[in-house]
Structure formats: C-alpha cells, structure tokens
Structure 1
Amino acid sequence: MDTRAPEKTQITDAERIDRLRLIRADNVGPRTFRSLVRHCGSARAALEWLPEFARRGGASKPQRIPSEADARAELETSAKLGVRLIAPGEDGYPPRLAELDDAPPLLGVRGAIENLMRPMIAIVGSRNASAAGLKFAQVLARDLSDAGFVVASGLARGIDQAAHRASIEGGTVAVLAGGHDRIYPPEHVDLLNTLLASGAAISEMPLGYVARAHDFPRRNRLVSGASLGVVVVEAAMRSGSLITARLANEQGREVFAVPGSPLDPRAAGTNGLIKQGATLITEAADVIQAVEPIMGRPIELREDDAEPLAPDPDEAAREHIVNLLGPSPILLDDLIRLSGASAAVVRTVLLELELAGRLERHGGGLISLI
C-alpha cells in the first residue's frame, strides 16, 4: 500500500527538551503551543515569554513551567518503559495525525512503532456491546488487518477490545487517554502488553497521568486523526463513539456506520449517523473501496499557517474583549465582530486569558470565561 508519506524530519535533543517543557507547562495545549511557537519563533523563546503572557491575562499565581531537569527526567523515565517522545514528521509519528492543527507537539509511542506509519482504520463502539456487535467488530477488524490496514481503537471495553484482539497478529494501535503507565481500564493491561509485540500504543499525556472523564474526547481526536476513517459499530445516542465520529468529520476523515435494529438502543447512534450522511457498511470491502482513493493522495504536513498574534494589545482593547466574555460560550468569529478589534488582537487576549487559566475552549470554536 502506497500512502506517499511525507519526508521524515528529526529534531535535536535540545528542541525536544524545550518542546516538552512548553507542552507540560500550565494551561498550554497543542493549539496554544502552536500559537506560542509561531509568535515567539521557537519553543525556547516561548518559554521565556510564558510568564508575561500569563501576567497580562490576569493570572492569580505564578505559572508552573517544568525545569530542564524535569523534562530530562521524564524523557529518561519514559525510555525505561520503552516510550519515545517524538514530534510531528519524525519516524513513528502517524502521518495523518501530524496534519491536524491540534496535533500533539510530542507524542509518546511504544511497541512496534513502524506500524504507526501504515494506513489505519479506526473501529469504535459501545462499551456495553451486544454479542452481534462484538462478532461484527471482530470480523471487520480481522478482514481489514488481512487487507493490510492497521486497526486503531481506544482500548476500551466492548467494541474497542474486540477490534484490538481480532487484529493483534497484523498490528493494532491502542490510543490511551492516560499516561503509558496508567492504563484504563486496568483489566486491559494484559491485552495492551500482548498487542505491543506486533502493534503499538500512543498517548500525549505524561507518565503518571490518570485519565478523567474529560480526557476521553481528547483521546478520541487522536483515534480519528491518525486514521483514514472511523467505523462506528454500535453506539447509543449519547455514546462517546459519536464524539469520535463528529471529530472525524471535522478532521475530514471518512465516517462509516454499521446499521442495527431500530429496537436496539445500542444501534440508535449508528442509525442516526447513517441518516446524517455517514457511509453505511456491512463488510470490510465497503471500507476499503471508500478509502482507496484517499490513499493515493500524498500526505502533506500542514504549513504553520496559524493566525498571527498582536505584539501587545492596549489595555482598553483588552478590557473590552474580556467584558464581552462570560460563562456562556460564544463563537470566536462573533467575539471578533462584536469587539471591533482585529483578529490578531482578539486572539492574543484569548491566549493571555488561556495561559492565566481563565479561558475555556469548547467544541465548534466556542469559548467562554471561567
């Protein structure tokens, strides 16, 4: 299979340390990381500017920024567990994941990481799956694996674990919501250890991090982002699998759904996806036929085209923008229009507020003041 992967890059040890310190600093996520690096010129320069940005945003206490020694210790501890922290474009970083605007600046990978460079299909679904759903997930995963695809999923109970188990021999990728040493659910530690022999595991979280409820949607964007498409086997109307499907759609990935009985609430979400335009599938051939044209296109890492920031907004503009914000989420475009300020000024004020721990970002470009 020719995925026409982009040329590999390699960052220096010093850059890896700087990146790790920046992404582990308080209130810095992948999008904020990207904005800071673009504005400041490098991760090292961004580290120097962090306290000033947070102060301007009204931080109530000094921002925690890991020291160089802290970063080196994390790299060394990770290496002892067989985990490498790699940047977009480096060997082992899933090429399609690197395309995303919110791609992790460093991704923890372990196992047979060469499989992370192969074309992936994600299979997700209900934790409380039916026997028929589990059987279909197994057949689909095995057939896709036999066809040369890597099966990706979230190591959860139900459909996820069935897909992993059926594709172990061909290589499967587990996307973790917590750190590599904090596996959830705990009963799947043995499954993870088994799949690592021919597959891989990835996580953007630090060692020791225990996943919480809000971390699973964050994990789901990696499941869909690393893949050509996402297959939802079973999902109730409020299932986390529907979040994965929504993220896949936003990322430009293919969304597939397996139809089910209208009488089974576990099929309500998948049937709903089909009504909304997801591709109905009943076998692996349906998925393969849909993704083959995509695989022929070259994978190009995104250019750093993040919106520019303003050098230092004046106090009046900053106060006006903050006053327009509140606990009710508002669209960024609406905030720019209502403020009368330039997009660069608004984005800078929002970055300051975020680094101060005063801003919350929601799905769909919505923001609110904490």
Structure 2
Amino acid sequence: MTRDDLQEQRAWLIALRTPGLGPGGLRARLDAAGGDMHAALAQLQRQATSLGEPAQAWLARPDAALLDADMAWLAEPAHRLLRCTDADFPPLLDDIPQPPAALFVVGDSDLLLYPQVAIVGARSASAKGLAHARAFATALADAGFAITSGMADGVDGAAHAAALDAGARTVAVIGTGPDRVYPRKHHALARRIAAQGAIVSEFPPGTAARPDHFPRRNRIISALALGTLVIEAGLKSGSLITARLAAEQGREVFALPGSIHDPLARGCHQLIRDGARLVETATEIVETLAPAARMLGGQLAARLDSAGSDDADPRAVGTSGIDRSGTCGDPDYRRLLTELGHAPATLDELVQRTGQSAGALSSMLLMLELERRVESLAGNRYQRLPDG
C-alpha cells in the first residue's frame, strides 16, 4: 500500500470514528466532495462545531494511538476496510435507508457480491428449529447461494455452521467491532467463518456489543440478501426486525410455519399474515429468488467489467433449466472455462491465467455457478462441472 493509500485510509478512519456523524452524514459529505475523503474530512473539520462538542474535540485532535491500532488491524492478512467508494462495494447496500459508509471485513470481501439468502431465527431455538436451519442452509448453499446471518446463538449459528460443513460460502454480519466475538461461545465458529467466508461489521475494531448495535446490523443482513428466511421467532424476536427491514428494502421474506401451540412459531405466523411467503422447502426459495439472482449478476458484470472495458454489457445469470446463451456466446466466458480446465483452480490462479480482475472473475464465476457449469470448493477454489 502506497503512502497516499495509507493517508487516505487514515482519513477514512478519522471520519468513521467521528462522534455523532453516522453513515448518512459521512456519505452526504463524501457526495459533496465528489468522493474525495480528504476533502470530505476537511469539510467536517470546518463544520465541527455543528456536530457537537465530542465531534469537535475528536476532529481537532484525533486519538493517534487508537488510529494506529486501527491501521495495524487493517494491515493484518484478510482484513479490509471496504468503502462505499470502492468499485466492489456491494450494490445492494447503496439503495437502502441509511446505507453504511464502510464495512470492516475479515475474510473474503468478494463474497459480499454473491447472491445471498439470510437465515435468521430464535436464539433459543428448539432442536427441530436448529435442524431446519441446517437443512435449509445446506440446500440453499448447494443451489449456489451464500448463507448470511448474524452469528448469534441458535438459528444463526446453526445456519453458518451448516454452510461451512457443506464447504460453501457464509457471511456473518456482527454487532461488535470486527475483532470481537459475541457471543463468546462462537470463537471457534468465527475462526471458521473468517477462513472460509467473511465476517462483516459496520463498527470499528474494539467496539463492544451494545443493544442498539444489533438492529443496525440487521439492516445490513437483510440488505445484502436477496431474501430473508425466518425459522422460529417469538412475537418480540429480533428476527422480526430483520424481516421488517427486508420488506422495507424490497427484499423477499420467507417464513417457516409451525404448530399453533408453539410460542416460537407465533412470530413466523405473524409474518405470514403480514405477507411473508410461507415455505416448506428450499426449492421454493430458490425458484422465487432466481430472477433477482440473474438481475444481480448482470448488474455486477456491468459494474465490475466497466473498469476494464468501455463496451461491457450486463449478462443474465442463469440457473438450472434457464437458457445459457448469455454466457456461452461470450468470449470472456469461453476463455475463463478454457483456462479453468478440468482441475480445481483458485481465484488468484484464474486472475493470472486470464488477466481479468478478481472482481470481474468473481462476477463471472457467480453466473457460471448458478448455471451449474462451475462449482465452488473449499479454499476459494473452483471446479468446472462435466457439462460445463
């Protein structure tokens, strides 16, 4: 990383830690500054009095030791500050109320671009609820979706673990700093997710768990996912907040019904009464989300490929039984499949073989995987399928 990059990263950290600013205020100043963080920070410093005394004190003399610790954390392998000005910032986060300005990521930030299904539910889930979480997570992962949740106890943890056990992708959006694990019992799970998936936080390193952090993280869970599945939830469950946010963001909401005598089924029944889709199998979710997955793939292809090609056009993402002509006739896809060959290869190896950027390849591999022409393996590797 160059000196200029480090200075820009530090400017971002100063802005992100400014008391009372929030993601909306930071994004507004970034927009006014044309995306230039140094200019946005200078504007913040000029307007510090309007933000209150804590912000004024921080902007006048930021805590150098705290910023140095943040920089040291970001310098660690697989740690990243994913900014809203980055080309690979998840586009699904841009159009929601109060979109995050930046995300701290541990693991593979490219996974945030994949089509995702959120699986949430009760922390005190029953044995049957945990079994449902594992079964749906496994089936949806096998269909090509990343499994997203909040790494909480109960349904969240079961869904993450099932995706990992299947060798699939999983994304954990947490309500603490990226260096904290909550609940503490999930330290082993967090290490597995960091190695095979991604841990995502809007909060800087060192941030402890607070009750108001979890509704904030829920909006990111629901926004990253094309749909949210609720498995067991009481009438006052935080999962209902995630489901409500998903509906407000224009995402699909699915709920698993249960016994009328089960208190943990009442939240799901309420969601169904309010318009959520009652589902009994993962296939119903896959069929419902396939059009949105195709659209997302086309948007990502256009967005990521535009950096290297002036005439890049959106490509439709297929799924089983859908016309593949959008990729079969494309020379970039033909070359990717040729270079992939018939032995597993990592994303880095494919970058070297094709000369394409990692972001563009991730988008292309996403579409090929949904078309059942490529499958992902553990270790960020990809395998061409026999009919691909």
Identity of aligned residues (%): 41
TM-score (norm 2): 0.69
Secondary structure at the counterpart of residue 124 of structure 1 = strand
Aligned to 1:146: 142
Task: List gaps (5 residues or longer) in structure 1.
Answer: 1-10, 303-370
Supply the AA of the counterpart residue of 2:75. Answer: A
1:118 maps to 114
Q: In structure 2, what is the Cα distance between the partners aligned to 1:58 and 1:89?
A: 27
Q: Which of 24, 27, 49 is matched with 1:55 structurally?
A: 49
Q: Aligned with 1:161: secondary structure?
A: helix
CA distance in 2, matches of 1:87, 1:116: 13
* 1:47 counterpart letter in structure 2: L
Cα distance in 2 between the residues matched to 1:56 and 1:231: 42
Q: Which amino acid aligns with 1:45?
A: A
Match of 1:77 in 2: 73
1:72 positional shift:
5.2
Partner of 2:189: 191
> In the aligned structure 1, how far is the partner of 2:188 from the partner of 2:89?
24
Match for 1:246 among 244, 247, 251? Answer: 244
Deviates more, 1:256-265 or 1:61-70: 61-70
Query: Is the aligned partner of 1:275 residue 2:269?
Result: no
Letter of the structure 2 residue corresponding to residue 83 of structure 1: H
- Please show how residues 304-315 of structure 1 align to structure 2 within 5 Å: none
Residues 9-55 of structure 1 show CA distances to partners (whole Å, capped at 9, x for unaligned) of xx954443322221211111111111222234443233233355342
Partner of 1:4: none
Which has the bigger relative contact order, CA under 8 A and spacing at least 6?
A: 1
Q: Give the Cα–Cα distance (whole angstroms) in 2 for the partners of residues 61 and 43 of structure 1.
A: 17
Aligned length: 292
Q: Which residue, out of 273, 277, 285, partners 1:287? A: 285
8 Å contact from structure 1 (residues 92, 109) kept in 2: no
Greater helix share, structure number: 2
Q: After superposition, what is the alpha-carbon deviation per residue over 1:45-88, rounded to whole angstroms, capped at 9, x for unaligned? A: 33233355342466488341336785454122232263111213
**Residue aligned with 1:80, SS:** coil
Deviation digits for residues 176-196 of structure 1 (CA, Å, limit 9, x no counterpart): 110122110000010111232
Please give the alpha-carbon distance, in whole angstroms, between the structure 1 residues aligned to 2:18 and 2:108: 30
Select which of 181, 185, 205 maps to 1:207.
Answer: 205
**Counterparts of 2:97 and 2:55 in 1: how far apart (Å)?**
29
Where do residues 332-347 of structure 1 align in structure 2 (5 Å cutoff)? none
Are the counterparts in 2 of residues 21 and 68 from structure 1 also a CA contact under 8 Å?
Answer: no
In 2 relative to 1, CA 122–56 (structure 1 residues): closer, same or farther, beyond 3 Å?
Answer: closer
Once residues 24 and 52 of structure 2 are traced to their aligned partners in structure 1, the CA distance between those partners, rounded to angstroms, is: 20
Amino acid at match of 1:202: V
SS at match of 2:56: coil
Q: Is the 8 A contact 1:17 1:68 kept in 2?
A: no
CA distance in 1, matches of 2:94, 2:6: 20
The answer on whether the counterparts of 1:87 and 1:93 sit within 8 Å (CA) in structure 2 is yes
**Counterpart Cα distance in 1 of 2:25 and 2:254:** 31
Q: Is 1:38 paired with 2:24?
A: no
Equivalent in the alignment of 1:236: 234
**1:39 maps to amino acid:** A
For the Cα contact (< 8 Å) 1:144–1:151, is it kept in 2?
yes
Aligned to 2:294: 296
User: Which of 162, 177, 180 matches 2:178?
Assistant: 180
Is contact 1:97–1:227 with CA below 8 Å preserved after alignment? no
After TM superposition, the structure 1 = structure 2 runs for residues 82-161 of structure 1, keeping only pairs within 5 Å, are 82-88=78-84, 90=86, 93-161=89-157
Preserved CA contact (<8 Å) 2:24 2:101: no
Q: Structure 1 132/190 Cα, relative in aligned 2: closer, same or farther at 3 Å?
A: same
Report the counterpart of residue 344 of structure 2 in structure 1.
none
Given that 1:239 and 1:269 are in contact with CA atoms closer than 8 Å, whether structure 2 keeps it comes out as yes
Aligned to 2:117, the other structure's residue is in SS state strand
**Alignment partners' CA distance in 2, 1:47 and 1:216:** 28
- 1:289–1:165: structure 2 CA closer, same or farther, 3 Å change rule? same
- The within-5 A match list for 1:318-337 is none
Q: What CA distance in whole angstroms lies between the structure 2 residues aligned with 1:62 and 1:111?
A: 34
In structure 2, which of residues 16, 22, 31 is the aligned counterpart of residue 23 of structure 1? Answer: 16
Specify the alignment match of 1:218 in structure 2.
216
The one-character-per-residue Cα deviations of 1:139-190 (angstroms, maximum 9, x if unpaired) are 0000001111100000001100110111101121111110122110000010
Over the aligned positions, Cα root-mean-square deviation in angstroms equals 2.5
Structure 1 length as normaliser, TM-score? 0.72
Is this contact kept in 1: 2:48–2:55, CA < 8 A? Answer: no
Query: 2:81 is matched by which residue type in structure 1?
Result: L
